[in-house]
Amino acid sequence: MAPKSPWKKNKSISDVQTAAATGQATPAINYGEVQDEEIEVLKAIYMDDYEEVEVKGAWSKTADRSFKLTLRAFSDQDSLALLSVRLTATYPKTSPLLDVSGVEIFHERTQKRIRNIVANRPKQLLGEVMIHAIASEIQEALEGAVSARQQGALPSLEDERASAEEVAAALAQEAEEIEARRLREAQEEEDRVLKQMLDDEVSRREKRKPVGIPGIIAIV
């Protein structure tokens, strides 16, 4: 189970909903302040594994809050994944935009677990700051993969990487073969069309040849 959020709870969406349900004055939420506080906590936790990413909208003068977290298994620093995060203007009222990469080298079971976390947990945690909780769950999934490898239940990281490279090489070879076949078929079709055009032209020329004048029959 992922650890609880490491910061104290400020005004959240649930506070707003509770206030609305009880008829109390609805407290205003400063989304920028909430996001800034969460980012500062993440920087303190992940340090060098936190990377700021500046993204500007086409019509916006202010930079969106976007960053990347390198998430590592607790017992194996080489078992890692990269979580890309972009906070929407009204986050955490709305879900953040998340993407995870670098998991392709892991077993399919680990990939599925991590992708499910990224796809489903934001919906379940909506209304609360959630990036640390999601990141922690991804790290737990990575740690689970490490433990399974150590117990022999999953292939080693080197084997997984080798397998991923073999799959990539096989896909590349297949793509080359498909392209070569496409080019060969295109050339064969071009040759067929040219031959047909040549045959048609020869046929037209044969039809255009003048017919010989028949012999004159003498009248007796």
pLDDT in tens, 20-41: 445 555 567 899 999 999 999 9
Whole-prediction pTM value? 0.60
Domain spans in the chain, listed from the N-terminal domain onward: 13-154, 155-207
pLDDT tens, residue by residue, 201-215: 888 888 877 765 555
- The sheet that has 97-101: what strands, in order across it? 50-56, 63-73, 76-87, 97-101
Contacts 24+ apart (CB under 8 A), 110-113: 110/141, 110/142, 110/144, 110/145, 110/154, 113/141, 113/144
Residue 51's beta-bridge partner residues?
Answer: 68
* Rg of the chain in Å (alpha carbons): 33
CATH architecture of 13-154: Roll (3.10)
For 151, phi then psi, to 5°, come to -90, 0
Confidence class of residue 54 from pLDDT cuts 50, 70 and 90?
confident
Inter-residue contact 79 to 147 (CB < 8 Å):
no
pLDDT tens, residue by residue, 137-181: 999 999 999 888 888 766 666 666 666 677 667 777 888 888 888
pLDDT tens, residue by residue, 93-141: 999 999 999 999 888 889 999 999 999 999 999 999 999 999 999 999 9
pLDDT tens, residue by residue, 65-92: 899 999 999 999 999 999 999 999 999 9
